[in-house]
Structure 1
Amino acid sequence: MNEIDIGSACNCFAMRQAARFVTQIYERHFAPLGVTATQYSIMVALSRRRDLLMSELADALVMDRTTLLRALKPLQRDDIVSIARAEHDARAYSLNLTRDGLRLFKQATKAWQAAQTEFEDKFGQSRARALRQELFSLTTVD
């Protein structure tokens, strides 16, 4: 059996290294607004649908609830996201962007566009599109 160079053969290592590189680009653009890439992802999901359940948000973002709660705390503290008991289930919580949250989301979307452009300028638009499709196929259930 040939010895494998784990550093160059490991899918997880390569994906996590690339994820850190890409995250650094986006977070540099979000930093002036005090938003992280994870928090922006949360705002995107909440901008698409009102009264999103915490469990639905965790599933949509492929995050465990503990990590999601950690990211939500500053958004709730800063009145960007409201968290309330769900109407149909007292054990569930529904999430919404507040008025301030919608305003911040619009500002952050401009920062996101700048980060998106920077990444695509470095990587290429068509390669970026193909990469997104492949990556989403990993987490999309048919």
Structure 2
Amino acid sequence: MPTTERLDSCNCFASRKAARLITKMYEDHLAPAGLTSSQFALLAHLDEAGSASIKELVEALAMERTSIVRALQPLERDALVDQAVDQNDARRHVISLSAAGRERLQQAIPLWQEAQAEFERIFGAGLAQQMRESIRGLSS
């Protein structure tokens, strides 16, 4: 059943639908590594940042706190991330990538690159870059 005219002209609906379809594409590629797209983003961010608090992850990834906590649970269970008390502030907990997490990320990166290539085959590299730049503008 097609969508209604109102939904077809709605920017919010279009962007959310696109996000769901793109997420599915990436998660199909990441499935052999046993990661969701959110988990991949968390591991990739922690790999580059070194460590981060939940609050910092919320800000960096533009995700809800509950979504981050939910995505971290299996990563902690599988010992892909470590959580520790911040040495400078005992009230603050920081999450970092474990050695197993680095290995899993290295396994997932070629799968993610395949998803990137598929996206760019469908939409073109120029449009993909333009989309990323436009989205970065939303958060600044």
Same fold (TM over 0.5): yes
Q: Is 2:108 the partner of 1:89?
A: no
Deviation for aligned residue 1:53: 1.7
Q: Which runs of 5+ in 1 are unaligned?
A: none
Q: Are residue 59 (structure 1) and residue 48 (structure 2) matched?
A: no
> Is 2:127 aligned against 1:127?
yes
Which residue of 2 is the match for residue 75 of structure 1?
75
Taking only aligned residues, the RMSD between alpha carbons, in angstroms, comes to 1.3
How many Å apart are 1:64 and its aligned residue?
A: 2.0
Which AA in structure 2 matches 1:109?
I
| Per-residue deviation, 1:14 | 0.3
Q: Given that residues 27 and 37 in structure 1 are in contact (C-alpha distance below 8 angstroms), is that contact kept between their aligned partners in structure 2?
A: yes
Name the SS of the counterpart of 2:76 in structure 1: helix
Cα separation, 2, equivalents of 1:14 and 1:58 = 24
Partner of 1:20: 20
Query: Residue 46 of structure 1 contacts residue 97 of structure 1 at CA under 8 Å; is this kept in 2?
Result: yes
Matches within 5 A, 1:23-62: 23-62=23-62
- Partners of 1:59 and 1:70 in 2: CA distance: 16
Identical residues among aligned pairs (%): 39
Distance in 1 between the 2:102 and 2:89 partners? 26
Return structure 1 stretches of 4+ with deviation > 2 angstroms.
none
Residue 6 (str. 1) matches residue 44 (str. 2): no
Aligned length: 137
Give the gaps of 5 or more residues in structure 2.
none
Distance in structure 1 (CA, Å) of the matches to 2:107 and 2:86? 29
CA distance in 1, matches of 2:134, 2:54: 27
Would you say the 8 A contact 2:51–2:97 is kept in 1? no
Deviation at 1:112, TM superposition (A): 0.4
The one-letter amino acid paired with 2:40 is Y
Over residues 6-62 of structure 1, what are the superposed CA-to-partner deviations in whole Å (9 max), with x where a residue is unaligned? 212211100000001111110001111110000001011101122312211111011
**Secondary structure of residue in 1 paired with 2:50:** coil
Q: 1:112 aligns to what SS in structure 2?
A: helix
When normalised by structure 2's length, the TM-score is: 0.93
Query: 1:39·1:71 contact (CA, 8 Å) conserved in 2?
Result: yes
